[in-house]
A and B are shown apart, each in its own frame.
Chain A
């Protein structure tokens, strides 16, 4: 071994001492709670008829304009810089069919909010996840982090933004409801307070248990979301693009680690001090002649 055990241990020990000086490690990150006035959507896939009126209404309410297919139809194939709400269709191996409405899930502990450097994405009034382009540098970390792949980016623009459903908060401010919920002819998607929607979802599961998969997606998934889903019996949520996420939110583990290490910025400061001390000590030693050599 070329490095003497002594020198290696000494070097590592001084650095380690810095980190060891941390206060009691990791209180787990406080579990985020849904705000009391949280609002959301309940989408019942068994009621949706795929009319796409919600897509048109969303497009108009949000001023999204371009046609998507052959310049003729507004046919986004997935959420995009031009589509905050998309209806898609699933057909399974046994011929079972369902429509699926996709838009921002307005998570209780959103990954996108956790990663956004200047808080351009943040959890605002009533728990709606809002976007402020002025604080956005376009780093697209939110796209990497979102487990539902919701935030879309305007790749074709020289001045791009992140684009996603914000529950029509301008309309909410005027006392209206989100455009998709307003226009839906079958009330497949409804808007309301989160508590009411959750109650309604459970009521439906209780009243017609054979109709649904016995779970309200979003109640606990990924730490909970404010947009809830019901799916037809025999069509698992994963088939509709809703991943199996477990009950912990996406940011909970990384944030715990990050906060533990950097709590109060103490560890870096202590480490800096330790490093400085070692450097000074080595300088003095070498000025006195002779280095720590290897045997």
Chain B
């Protein structure tokens, strides 16, 4: 597979050189989309034969799945993240691969018309549409802290989820509550699984979520009607099965015990491990080091020299202070070795002191006692 390197569109140029962009100028729409499907399939871990099927179903046969995208307590960062994806770019995604029937940010319509579009699409695609949720759902006081079109978030969610074919929670807020849920959580914000019981929800945590994790999942469902293997929190294992620590490019520094101890010190400048600065990589499940977010590899926290924040993990991101170090979830040996016989055991100074003193006391007491016996005058009957 080769990419055509073309000059970036105006405004899309990166400092320092050519940008690698997809442009329909070089390849032709269909070929381009075919390649987009291959990449999307690769992201999810499906073979290239799956990509062919994806292409056929969506582009050739035009069977684009309906997508209803809800926004609740969110910053729209996940949508923005998706917008910056280039393969496939969002316009191609929207026009050729899926049918985005409701999206508050991107929809041209507004107000009652928008709501009508939603309910119509839901009716027409009942049981088949993909429901994507972005943002947390407030539960306190019957959920009045987020209302769209006069309905509370939790009402809308339940209404839309009833007939959904698949439910995807994109971003940490929708996955487990995210920023809105951090202490003291005044609105009672929860993720989709907290507001919706008894349904399979794919969660794609991250702040923002990696758009390719979402794209791979959505396209798999769109093509095959199946969801990728999920872990106990509903996260696709292909993306969230391992911790950042396990795939970190700075791991050799960790294993050798080379740590940056202060921002800007020599170790930091040399790119050493950021664990001592509070990197949450060891407890954070995500694939940020393997799958770049935007089109700039290395544009992620550790890549730019900042310790991981743990944004995908509930109780880590927005919960534990950045500078606090965390235990290692899956410890493996370091680069140092034990000696064949490394010694061990305890011989405490106090212990020796106490033991010796007691023994000494007993023996000397016994000896002293025997001298008092010596001093005694034996009675007649003892002389037998």
Contact call A77/B338, Cβ cutoff below 8 A:
yes
With A67-B327, A78-B344 known as contacts, the answer to whether A86 contacts B338 (CB < 8 A) is yes
Binds B, one of A28-36, A49-57, A257-265: A49-57
Shortest Cβ gap from A278 to chain B (Å): 27
Identity of the chain A residue whose Cβ is nearest the Cβ of B254 in the assembled complex: A72
Contact call B333/A56, Cβ cutoff below 8 A:
yes
Contact call A89/B340, Cβ cutoff below 8 A:
yes
Contact call A75/B327, Cβ cutoff below 8 A:
no
Identity of the chain B residue whose Cβ is nearest the Cβ of A66 in the assembled complex: B331
Residues of A within 8 A of B275 (CB): 72
Residues of B within 8 A of A90 (CB): 339-340
Contact call B331/A68, Cβ cutoff below 8 A:
yes
Contact call A69/B340, Cβ cutoff below 8 A:
no
Identity of the chain B residue whose Cβ is nearest the Cβ of A73 in the assembled complex: B334
Identity of the chain B residue whose Cβ is nearest the Cβ of A71 in the assembled complex: B327
With A67-B327, A67-B328 known as contacts, the answer to whether A75 contacts B334 (CB < 8 A) is yes
Contact call B327/A88, Cβ cutoff below 8 A:
no
A74 at the binding interface (Cβ < 8 Å): yes
Q: How large is the interface on A (under 10, 10 to 19, 20 to 34, 35 or more residues)?
A: 20 to 34
Contact call A78/B333, Cβ cutoff below 8 A:
no
Identity of the chain B residue whose Cβ is nearest the Cβ of A240 in the assembled complex: B340
Shortest Cβ gap from B163 to chain A (Å): 42
Residues of chain A in range 33-87 having any CB-CB distance to chain B below 8 Å: 50, 52, 55-56, 59, 66-69, 71-78, 86-87
Contact call A88/B334, Cβ cutoff below 8 A:
no
B332 at the binding interface (Cβ < 8 Å): yes
A241 at the binding interface (Cβ < 8 Å): yes
Contact call A73/B344, Cβ cutoff below 8 A:
no
Residues of B within 8 A of A55 (CB): 332-333
Contact call A241/B334, Cβ cutoff below 8 A:
no
A210 at the binding interface (Cβ < 8 Å): no
Identity of the chain B residue whose Cβ is nearest the Cβ of A69 in the assembled complex: B334
Shortest Cβ gap from A180 to chain B (Å): 13
A285 at the binding interface (Cβ < 8 Å): no
Identity of the chain B residue whose Cβ is nearest the Cβ of A87 in the assembled complex: B337
| Interface residues contributed by chain B, number (CB under 8 Å) | 17
Contact call A67/B340, Cβ cutoff below 8 A:
no
Contact call B332/A73, Cβ cutoff below 8 A:
yes
Distance, CA A262 to CA B261, complexed state (A): 67
Partner of B333, one of A52, A99, A100, A241: A52
A239 at the binding interface (Cβ < 8 Å): yes
Contact call B338/A75, Cβ cutoff below 8 A:
yes
Contact call A74/B333, Cβ cutoff below 8 A:
yes
Distance, CA A10 to CA B308, complexed state (A): 87
Residues of A within 8 A of B341 (CB): 78, 241
With A88-B337, A89-B337 known as contacts, the answer to whether A74 contacts B331 (CB < 8 A) is yes
Residues of B within 8 A of A100 (CB): 340
Partner of B342, one of A50, A67, A87, A88: A88
Give 1 or 0 for each of B321-362: 1 = CB within 8 Å of chain A CB: 000000110011110111111101000000000000000000
Identity of the chain A residue whose Cβ is nearest the Cβ of B275 in the assembled complex: A72
Distance, CA A52 to CA B344, complexed state (A): 22
Contact call B332/A50, Cβ cutoff below 8 A:
no
Identity of the chain B residue whose Cβ is nearest the Cβ of A99 in the assembled complex: B337
Shortest Cβ gap from A242 to chain B (Å): 10
Residues of B within 8 A of A59 (CB): 332
Distance, CA A100 to CA B337, complexed state (A): 10
Contact call B338/A78, Cβ cutoff below 8 A:
yes
With A67-B327, A71-B327 known as contacts, the answer to whether A76 contacts B338 (CB < 8 A) is yes
Partner of A72, one of B328, B337, B338, B342: B328
Residues of A within 8 A of B340 (CB): 88-90, 100, 239-241
Distance, CA A90 to CA B340, complexed state (A): 6
Distance, CA A155 to CA B336, complexed state (A): 25
Residues of B within 8 A of A86 (CB): 338
Shortest Cβ gap from A55 to chain B (Å): 5
Residues of A within 8 A of B337 (CB): 50, 87-89, 99
Residues of A within 8 A of B255 (CB): 73
Distance, CA A59 to CA B338, complexed state (A): 17
Distance, CA A59 to CA B332, complexed state (A): 9
Distance, CA A56 to CA B327, complexed state (A): 17
Shortest Cβ gap from A116 to chain B (Å): 24
Shortest Cβ gap from A63 to chain B (Å): 12
Residues of B within 8 A of A66 (CB): 331
Distance, CA A76 to CA B333, complexed state (A): 8
17 A-B pairs (CB sep. < 8 Å): A55-B332, A55-B333, A67-B327, A69-B334, A72-B275, A72-B334, A73-B328, A73-B331, A73-B332, A74-B331, A75-B338, A77-B342, A78-B338, A87-B333, A88-B342, A89-B340, A90-B339
- A residues with a Cβ closer than 8 A to B are 50, 52, 55-56, 59, 66-69, 71-78, 86-90, 99-100, 239-241
Please give me the 10 A-B residue pairs with the lowest Cβ-Cβ distance, nearest first: A89-B337, A67-B331, A74-B331, A73-B334, A52-B333, A77-B338, A77-B342, A88-B338, A241-B340, A56-B332
Further pairs besides A87-B333, A88-B338, A88-B342: 17, Cβ < 8 Å: A50-B337, A52-B332, A68-B331, A71-B328, A73-B255, A73-B332, A74-B332, A75-B334, A75-B338, A78-B338, A86-B338, A88-B337, A88-B339, A89-B337, A89-B340, A100-B340, A241-B340
